[in-house]
Structure 1
Amino acid sequence: MVKKAGCRKMGVISTDEWLKKDFNRPIQMMEKLKSTFHDSLDGDAIYQQLLKHGMYSPNQRTKLTWEYLQENDAWKKTQNLFTSYKKLWGGPDVPIYIFPLMSSWGWKKTNETKSGLAFEDKLFLFYDKEIADKEMEALLIHEYHHVCRLHRLEKEPKEFTLLDTMIMEGLAERTVERYLGAYYLARWTKLYQEDKLQEFWSKHLEGKHMIKRTDPLHDVLLLGQKGFPHMLGYCSGFYLVGKSEKISVKKSFIIQSEEFL
């Protein structure tokens, strides 16, 4: 998932230390992030936003997840991955905040072990305790691709269309496939066959793909809510990018969304 937004310290932030002190008080932790959000959000508002994308709520299961992530060196491993891809792609230096994944995550119907939220100037990664090292890498590739594309696209956030968001998700996940292979693609990429996606485009998306991200219908179609097919926009973006000719990763940061239609 992707948003546009301000920051100071770069690379993986020591949220493991934050969690040691305030695991049961996540809103208190979010107060540390207020200066990185331009729109004057308080700790509670930031927490509510992150909850929608997989941020944990304090309970016994998420505490076990946090302990596992510590034992598994999740913070160090993510920093090493970030250093590699930042150099490989010539990407921007941004702070990365790691937290446990929500135990009753809304996308659990696809059994994901990870989620994330990317801004132009920061990155949030949410890991479940079952996460493998390659899945960490897949998430970092996907979300950091968003950061790189947001940096290179000359477009204000409020001008983003549903097509822009769909293509952003499609390009990020095709980049995961390029580096790690199809096995590490998110499970939502395999929800529908090509003929179904063509049908969904005609039935649900054609004529609506240029609505702005400020339109309430944007997220409904993107995520497939309110009776629309699950993960409709994500799956359609992945399909649109996949049926066009292959482009380099660096070109994928700047190519215009309309070129995939």
Structure 2
Amino acid sequence: MGIIQTHEWVQELVEEYEEKRSSDFYYSQLKKIGEPVSKHFPSSTPEEVLYHLQQNGLFQPGEWRKIKPLLKSMRDIEIWKTIEVEFVRLKKQWKGPDIPIYVFPITRGYDKRQEKNKNGLAIKEAVFLFLSATHSSNELKAILAHEYHHVCRMNVQKLNEVELRLDDLLVLEGTAEQVVKRVYGKGYMAPWTTAFKENEIKPYWNKYLVPVLDSKDHEQNMKLMYGNKFGRPPKWMGYNAAYHLVNAFCRKKGLQKIEDLFHVSAEEVIRESTFVRPRS
């Protein structure tokens, strides 16, 4: 599978609207993007899938005029080629699954939440990347590696992304950033990895995360991961705890191979780290 030539989808979408062959950009976006990728989300309608992608960074219908120059800039720096070459390399090195990679222009408003104008979404059988034309080659590779690591780990651990427990989510995010650090260097890690030091995050781990590590409540779990910049729990709490949790585990166990992280359960990571899970 590998990289899907989604720039052709977006180009056709914009041209269709420019030439007034469509008067409803949302409907066109649904037909060109929502419907083709809905096969990866069998329990959701194309409308629900499109909304899900928009929530994760896909450009909005009202932004169509800005998409054409952005798309050209993305093609000029060969984003699709860069992602494709790195995917082939990682797949071979990690012996990972052959999945489709979908790359789309990111909505202009998304960086207000992420502090970086890029985002990714991984499910067991596909990766979606939402990007701009401002990223270096290594930044592109790092976000791909982060998301593709999710795919590899979810498949090895037989995790269900729809019913992911909080402990699995934490280890999933923490191991992905461990991969980025090892392969591309600390400079390409997510900003949330430095939000707190290890000793600073542990009190929040014990107070907010330990009591609900078994939770499968996705909405509540994501609130804990993102935190709250205006109060408690603090912003990036869960993500930062995830990084330090896995970092402590790797420091203690001395793991040498990235592939080893695919096979270690969340329970073992927590048990063997300095973030000991209290016995029930």
Name 1:250's counterpart in structure 2. 259
Q: Tell me the distance in 2 between the aligned counterparts of 1:73 and 1:158.
A: 33
Amino acid of the structure 2 residue aligned with 1:136: L
Amino acid of the structure 1 residue aligned with 2:118: K
Q: Secondary structure at the match of 1:229?
A: coil
Q: Tell me the distance in 2 between the aligned counterparts of 1:183 and 1:46.
A: 33
Pairwise CA distance, 1:46: 1.0
What TM-score comes out, normalization by structure 2 length?
Answer: 0.83
Q: Secondary structure at the match of 2:138?
A: helix
Name 2:4's counterpart in structure 1. 13
Name 2:138's counterpart in structure 1. 134
Q: Secondary structure at the match of 2:259?
A: helix
RMSD: 1.8
Alignment of 1:74-153 (within 5 A): 74-105=79-110, 108=112, 110-153=114-157
Task: Deviation per CA, 1:213-247: give whole Å up to 9, x if none.
Answer: x3531111122148422222111110100111332
Matched, 1:57 2:54: no
C-alpha contact 2:123 2:161 (8 A) present in aligned 1: no
What TM-score comes out, normalization by structure 1 length?
Answer: 0.89
Matched, 1:169 2:173: yes
Matched, 1:46 2:49: yes
C-alpha contact 2:102 2:129 (8 A) present in aligned 1: yes
Pairwise CA distance, 1:61: 4.3
Worse-superposed segment, 197-206 or 173-182: 197-206
- Answer with 1 or 2: which has the greater Rg: 2
C-alpha contact 1:110 1:188 (8 A) present in aligned 2: no
Q: Tell me the distance in 1 between the aligned counterparts of 2:203 and 2:266.
A: 20
Amino acid of the structure 1 residue aligned with 2:121: L
Name 1:70's counterpart in structure 2. 75
Name the structure where helix makes up a greater proportion of residues: 2
Worse-superposed segment, 81-90 or 148-157: 148-157
Task: Deviation per CA, 1:59-114: give whole Å up to 9, x if none.
Answer: 24444332211111111111111011111111110001000112111x53553132
Distance 1:152 1:243, change over 3 A: same
- Listed as ranges, the gaps of 5+ residues in structure 2 are 15-24, 271-280
Matched, 1:220 2:229: no
Pairwise CA distance, 1:51: 1.6
Q: Tell me the distance in 1 between the aligned counterparts of 2:158 and 2:114.
A: 34
C-alpha contact 1:169 1:237 (8 A) present in aligned 2: yes
Distance 1:159 1:99, change over 3 A: closer
Pairwise CA distance, 1:183: 0.7
Distance 1:241 1:47, change over 3 A: same
Higher relative CO (CA 8 A, sep ≥ 6), structure 1 or 2? 1
Distance 1:122 1:70, change over 3 A: same
Task: Deviation per CA, 1:191-224: give whole Å up to 9, x if none.
Answer: 1122221121122112112211x35311111221
Pairwise CA distance, 1:126: 0.9
Q: Tell me the distance in 1 between the aligned counterparts of 2:81 and 2:169.
A: 30
Name 2:206's counterpart in structure 1. 202
Q: Secondary structure at the match of 1:244?
A: helix
C-alpha contact 2:164 2:218 (8 A) present in aligned 1: no
Q: Secondary structure at the match of 1:243?
A: helix
Q: Tell me the distance in 2 between the aligned counterparts of 1:50 and 1:260.
A: 31
C-alpha contact 1:22 1:28 (8 A) present in aligned 2: no
Q: Tell me the distance in 1 between the aligned counterparts of 2:114 and 2:155.
A: 30
Name 1:185's counterpart in structure 2. 189
Q: Tell me the distance in 1 between the aligned counterparts of 2:66 and 2:212.
A: 40
Pairwise CA distance, 1:34: 2.4
